[in-house]
Amino acid sequence: MDFSCAADGTKCMPPPSSPSSSSSSSLLPTAVLILCVAPLAYVVLPLLWRAAGLLFGWRLRQRTQLRRRQILDLTSSDEKKQPGSRRSSLSSSGKEDSEDGGWEKLDASRSGIANNGAPAGSDPDWDGIVGFFHPFCNAGGGGERVLWAAIRATQERYPRATCVVYTGDHGVSKAAMLSRVASRFNIHLHPPSVHFLYLSTRHWVLASTWPRFTLAGQSLGSVVMAWDAFSLLVPDVFVDTMGYAFALGLAKWLFGPGLPTAAYVHYPTISTDMLDSLDPASRVGDQGLNAGQGVGLRGRLKRRYWRLFAAAYSRVGASADVVMTNSSWTQQHIQQLWGPPRQARGSARPIAVVYPPVAVSELEREVDVSAESEARREKMLLYIAQFRPEKNHQLVLQAFAELVKSASSAAARGARLVLVGSVRDDADSKRVYKLRLLANELHIRDQVEFRLDAPWKDVLDLLRRASVGVNAMWNEHFGIGVVEYQAAGLVAVVHESGGPKMDIVVDVDGEPTGFHATTASEFAAAFEKALALPDPLAVRLRARKSAKRFTEEEFARRWLEQMEGLFQARPGQRSSE
């Protein structure tokens, strides 16, 4: 370097470096450090997160081993006390002794048993614990029928297995629960191998707990509740039958492939239709409870929130080993959301449709559909649905008022509308009051009847006398009530969406089994067509034939086909991990 010196010969100092050169030299090591650490963090942090989950899972397994042994010992003890037990009558080879006692025989047509008596492709000696995550198991609805029918199918196929239900229904004993299942659904379970574990955190998933950000809050609550469940017992197979996808994600984080998981999805927590309904200009912008709300600053924020939630929902739901949906409509939406991440994970199992079990056989026994019964049918339109906002009772009342006021309609003369449904709380009671006011304003009060919390025998009587069954809910995920209409021989008039359109009210032998509608005017026109059919008996018989696709036997067969692979590993191997 060329330094200039002072005249007196003293040593000269170099000139100070420029700020730019100094900062460049100091930034270089930082940049190198970032380039080295960032990829390392990208690899290491997920591994640490995964390891933390497995460590927590291992600790939960160890902490719940005592309760596991207690449940298995109690099951074994109860089996010995009950004469003719299935489990005690099976030898180690899975063959049945000659005397069967009170426990029903395995039904090959229901359970998919092979001709030699052994379960096809599975181990009849599988003696692990199946955990069913259904915190509202005492609700008595269609989702609960799925739960109990699934447990019955599991007991029949795997008689040595123990079924545990995680529930928040405190104060309901096992005996009372199983008695209600038998009386409400006519499903009889084997008591020794069914147990209930009571959750203390169910309030975390109530909508009332989360007045804001309800979707995210309830999903967080389901994680808390699932942790509560695993703290009580870690099963050998975990089955969510309520739609808590984030509980499945927690299970995989804690236990990985060591805990096979299955999901039965009644409806997606969020769907592409829900996202589209926020846009008032979209094809569904006038449908649903949030129709057209995606405008303005608040609307844009809501859209963003929903899309972020949908991404998280897709990720955790895709972790399930087996995914079943209750209808083609639900399957399409779950496939759109969970399909891509499942493919990325390398999951070879398709998302399958397993229609929920409906009491078709009981309705066929109780309700006659013949030329003789046709004379007893009345001009009655029957709508069986809970008095909830999404059931859209207002649309039915408006459509019926149009029908009644139609001077040209001979079919309308003498027609009646009967609304049957349960009232859960004060909000439902107020909703019914408003519907009564609406009927009065539409001048149809004398032709409309409300039946609240009607017992089953009264519902059967109405099904015997009614001519038309109605469902007006937009995007009803399946529609068990519509299947009940068909099994009872009613001509169904349903909303042109969801499961009723895609799966239930479809042509049979190239001929219709009912009608679809969207607006009040379309429903009124469909009511008139249904009441004025030249040969209603032919349509009723086709509808009953269509309903045979949704029997309890068909549900059991499809359920076991999907669940088969989860029961191949021996429980002892998993518990020792």
Place of tokens 């499942």: 342
Determine contact, residues 293/299, Cβ cutoff 8 Å. yes
Residues 229 and 347 in one domain: yes
Model's pTM, two decimal places?
Answer: 0.79
Q: What was the pLDDT predicted at 576? A: 38
Residues 157 and 259 in one domain: yes
Q: What is the pLDDT along the chain (577 residues), one digit of tens a residue?
A: 444 444 455 555 555 555 555 555 566 666 666 666 666 666 678 888 889 999 999 999 999 999 999 999 999 999 888 765 555 444 333 333 333 333 343 344 344 444 334 444 557 789 999 999 999 999 878 889 999 999 999 999 999 999 999 999 998 999 999 998 998 888 999 999 999 999 999 999 998 899 888 999 999 999 999 999 999 999 999 999 999 999 999 999 999 999 999 999 998 898 777 776 766 666 655 565 566 566 678 778 888 888 999 999 999 999 999 999 999 999 999 999 999 999 888 877 899 999 999 989 889 999 999 999 999 999 999 999 989 888 999 999 999 999 998 866 777 788 999 999 888 778 889 999 999 999 999 999 999 999 998 888 899 999 999 999 999 998 888 988 999 999 999 999 999 998 999 999 999 999 999 999 999 999 999 999 999 999 999 999 999 999 999 999 999 999 999 998 888 655 544 443 4
What is the b/e burial string over 321-339, where b = at least 16 CB atoms within 10 angstroms of the residue's CB? bbbbbbbebbbbbbeebbb
| pLDDT tens figures, 431-483 | 999 999 999 999 999 999 999 988 888 999 999 999 999 999 988 889 889 99
Residues 280 and 208 in one domain: no
Range of the domain at 497: 360-550
**338 pairs with which residues across the strands?**
none
Place of tokens 């169904």: 492
Residues 235 and 338 in one domain: yes
Distance CA(334)–CA(96), nearest Å, equals 41
Distance CA(87)–CA(75), nearest Å, equals 10
Residue 469 lies in a domain: yes
Residue 106 lies in a domain: no
Q: What was the pLDDT predicted at 517? A: 96
Q: What was the pLDDT predicted at 424? A: 75
Q: What was the pLDDT predicted at 319? A: 94
Residues 338 and 384 in one domain: no
Residues 562 and 494 in one domain: no
Residues in the chain, total: 577
Distance CA(425)–CA(387), nearest Å, equals 10
The residue type found at 138 is: N
Helix residue ranges per DSSP H, 442-512: 456-465, 480-487, 498-499
Question: Which residue, 173, 214, 400, is CA-closest to 309?
Answer: 214
Q: What was the pLDDT predicted at 353? A: 95
| pLDDT tens figures, 102-151 | 334 334 434 444 433 444 455 778 999 999 999 999 987 888 999 999 99
Around Cβ 406, how many Cβ atoms within 10 Å? 16
Q: How many domains does the chain have?
A: 3
Residue 368 lies in a domain: yes
Place of tokens 């020794």: 192
Burial of 474 (0-12, 13-18, 19+ CB in 10 A): buried
Residues 233 and 311 in one domain: no
Q: What was the pLDDT predicted at 311? A: 93
Q: What was the pLDDT predicted at 33? A: 61
Q: Where a domain ends, among 286, 317, 348?
A: 317
Residues 419 and 395 in one domain: yes
Residues 161 and 189 in one domain: yes
Residues 377 and 478 in one domain: yes
Residue 447 lies in a domain: yes
Estimate to the nearest angstrom the gap between the alpha carbon of 149 and the chain centroid.
Answer: 14
In degrees, to the nearest 5, what angle opens at C-alpha 402 toward C-alphas 398 and 408?
170
Phi-psi sector, 36: left (phi>0), alpha (psi -120 to 50), beta: alpha
Residue 369 lies in a domain: yes
Place of tokens 């589209």: 276
